[in-house]
Amino acid sequence: MNLDKLEEVLKNEPKYRLKEARDFVFVKFIDNWNQATSFSKELRDELNKECPLEIKAESLVSKTGDSVKAKIILKDGAEIETVLMRHMDKRNTVCVSCQVGCPMGCLFCATGTMGFIRNLSTEEIIEQVLFFSRLLRRPAPRNDERVTNVTFMGMGEPFLNYDNVLQSIKVLNDTKAFNISIRNISISTCGVIEGIEKLANSGLQVNLAISLHAPNNELRSQLMPINKRYSLDKVLKAVDDYIVKTKRKVMFEYVLIKDINDTDECAKELAGLMGKKLYFLNLITFNNVKGSQFQASSNSRIEAFKKILKKQKINFVQRYRFGDDIQAACGQFVTGK
Ligand code: SAH
Ligand code: SF4
């Protein structure tokens, strides 16, 4: 898909054509200009040639049918993964990637093992949401639905591609484009402090999530090398400043890894950190990564961990696992192998 040229192709047309064209792409979700029936045949042909709407992708539906993973092949041949999660209450969440690979190298994360290849452009980020918007537009089994939520929890670290991520959020939120409520858009970061600070000053009411995964610096540095640069205390300080500025809730993500961060001691230490107002903890089951040294915690261990958090009155939920069978769950995104 190449929409860069849209304005150029339409420059000699009446002004409203551009609006109409955007409407076709972002509201009606056409995937070929021939569906733009109010345009002349010549214009449709030219648009198909200059700004083709095709998105090259392969998709895979999970056994339960509630999630669809797509591998999108970009213009330069790079591949990214993105997932649609269909909730019972008709919400449809797309989890988007913002980089090809990721330079952060977290030990438990499939993307981390790929290394960093490049940042995605704004258009390449949006394309992932467009892909699923088109899929949902089609009838049956649930008629004509829309993407209602977007999370930046796919491949890559959003705050290392700040400008393109923010620009894509503006398009997702734009009433003339996707019209997705800003409060339904979430950015997850491993704790890039400059990004947290910039977001706090941006005035954008997007949700912020922090990948915590360990309750102390020693363990966090072992699991997430980036903690040596952005240590836990500094990340939490940046989050507190963010909360003072924005008055918004912040979600902390904690993947439970067997015998690593799921002990009673860890639970108590975590409870000690999470007691603040407007902090919200999300416990995530570890999703298997091929060749990983780690395993998921047992159910009984998770229950014991939760019991300690409950006793300390910590605000938390355990995230439902989508798409595990198609390797479409968090941290399972890897391409090029
Ligand atoms: N780079 C950002 C966003 C992408 S990762 C970040 O790290 O926050 C999205 C979420 O999936 C993060 O919370 C990440 O820590 C988590 N994750 C990574 N590997 C995982 C795994 N194997 N199982 C479950 N969650 C994982
Ligand atoms: Fe990158 Fe996030 Fe994976 Fe860490 S968890 S390697 S920051 S994508």
Question: Is-catalytic flag, 194?
Answer: no
- Burial class from Cβ neighbours inside 10 Å (0-12, 13-18, 19+) for residue 88 reads exposed
What average pLDDT score do residues 162-180 get? 94
**Beta strand extents in 108-259 (DSSP E only):** 116-119, 149-152, 185-189, 207-211, 250-256
Going from the Cα of 130 to the center of ligand 2, the distance in angstroms, rounded, reads: 24
Query: Which pLDDT value is given to residue 66?
Result: 82
Query: Which pLDDT value is given to residue 95?
Result: 95
Q: To which residue do tokens 């610096």 refer?
A: 217
- Residue 334 Cβ contacting ligand 1 at under 6 Å: no
Amino acid (1-letter code) at residue 148? T
**Beta strand extents in the chain (DSSP E only):** 57-61, 67-73, 79-86, 92-95, 99-101, 116-119, 149-152, 185-189, 207-211, 250-256, 279-285, 316-318
Number of alpha carbons in the 13 Å side-chain half-sphere of residue 192:
16
What average pLDDT score do residues 135-155 get? 82
pLDDT (tens digit per residue) in 206-240? 999 999 999 999 999 999 999 999 999 999 999 99
Query: Which pLDDT value is given to residue 233?
Result: 97
- Residue 97 Cβ contacting ligand 1 at under 6 Å: no
Query: Which pLDDT value is given to residue 67?
Result: 86
Q: Which ligand is nearest to the CA of 104?
A: 2
| Spatial separation of the C-alpha atoms in residues 286 and 297, rounded to whole Å | 7
Catalytic residue among 79, 81, 123, 253: 81
Q: Give nearest CA residue, ligand 1 atom 17.
A: 331
Above pLDDT 70, what percent of the chain? 91
Provide φ and ψ at 195, rounded to 5°: -65, -45
pLDDT (tens digit per residue) in 304-332? 999 999 999 999 999 766 656 656 555 66
Amino acid (1-letter code) at residue 61? V
Q: Which ligand is nearest to the CA of 112?
A: 2
Residue 192 has pLDDT above 70, yes or no: yes
Average pLDDT of the residues of the chain: 91
Q: Which ligand is nearest to the CA of 188?
A: 1
Question: Is-catalytic flag, 330?
Answer: yes
- Residue 196 Cβ contacting ligand 1 at under 6 Å: no
Q: Give nearest CA residue, ligand 1 atom 12.
A: 211
Contacts of 225 (CB under 8 A, 6+ apart): 104, 105, 106
Query: Which pLDDT value is given to residue 337?
Result: 41
Q: Give nearest CA residue, ligand 1 atom 5.
A: 153
Going from the Cα of 190 to the center of ligand 1, the distance in angstroms, rounded, reads: 8
* Distance, CA of 280 to chain centre: 18
Q: Which residue has the higher pLDDT, 290 or 322?
A: 290
Contact yes or no for 18/6 (Cβ under 8 A): yes
Going from the Cα of 106 to the center of ligand 2, the distance in angstroms, rounded, reads: 6
Q: Give nearest CA residue, ligand 1 atom 18.
A: 331
Instruction: List the domains of the chain with CATH numbers.
Output: 6-50 (no CATH), 57-326 (3.20.20.70)
| Spatial separation of the C-alpha atoms in residues 320 and 306, rounded to whole Å | 15
Query: Which pLDDT value is given to residue 333?
Result: 63
| Spatial separation of the C-alpha atoms in residues 265 and 262, rounded to whole Å | 8
- Residue 330 Cβ contacting ligand 1 at under 6 Å: yes
Q: To which residue do tokens 């733009």 refer?
A: 36
Split at pLDDT 50, 70, 90, the class of 62 is confident
Task: Please give all residues whose beta carbon lies within 6 A of any atom in ligand 2, as ranges.
Answer: 102, 104-106, 109, 111-112, 156-157, 190, 211
Going from the Cα of 186 to the center of ligand 2, the distance in angstroms, rounded, reads: 15
Secondary structure (3-state) at 235:
helix
Q: To which residue do tokens 């620009």 refer?
A: 167
Residue 336 has pLDDT above 80, yes or no: no
pLDDT (tens digit per residue) in 100-143? 999 999 999 999 888 999 999 999 999 999 999 999 887 555 56
CB-CB neighbours of 223 under 10 Å: 20
* Distance, CA of 13 to chain centre: 37
- Residue 286 Cβ contacting ligand 1 at under 6 Å: yes
pLDDT (tens digit per residue) in 231-268? 999 999 999 999 999 999 999 999 999 999 999 999 99
| Spatial separation of the C-alpha atoms in residues 320 and 314, rounded to whole Å | 19
pLDDT (tens digit per residue) in 295-307? 999 999 999 999 9
Query: Which pLDDT value is given to residue 308?
Result: 98
- Residue 287 Cβ contacting ligand 1 at under 6 Å: yes
Residue 289 has pLDDT above 80, yes or no: yes
What average pLDDT score do residues 152-156 get? 95
